Amino acid sequence: MSFAPWIKYLPGPHERRRTAATVIFPHAGASAAYYRPFAAALSAAADTFTVQYPQRAERLHEPAPQTVHDLARGLFEAGPWSSAAPLRLFGHSMGAIVAFEFARIAEQNNVAVQKLWVSAGPVPSHIAGLPELPTGDEELLADLADLGGTDPRLLADQEFAALLTNAARCDYQALNRYSCDATVRIRADIHAVAGRQDHRVDAASLRRWANHTEGRFTLSFFEGGHFYLNEHVDTLASRVLADVC
Residues tagged active-site: 93, 226
Beta bridge partners of 23: 49, 89
CA 71-72-74 angle, 5° bins: 65
Q: At how many degrees (to 10) do helices 137-147 and 158-176 cross? A: 90
Q: Where are the beta strands (DSSP E) in 80-183?
A: 87-92, 113-119
170 in Cβ contact with 64 (< 8 Å): yes
Tell me how far apart the alpha carbons of residues 18 and 181 are, in angstroms, rounded to a whole number: 36
Tell me how far apart the alpha carbons of residues 109 and 104 are, in angstroms, rounded to a whole number: 9
For residue 200, the SS3 value is coil
To the nearest 10°, report the CA torsion of 201, 204, 206, 212. Answer: -140
89 in Cβ contact with 25 (< 8 Å): yes
Distance from the Cα of residue 45 to its chain's centroid: 20
Tell me how far apart the alpha carbons of residues 143 and 133 are, in angstroms, rounded to a whole number: 9
Q: At how many degrees (to 10) do helices 158-176 and 94-108 cross? A: 50
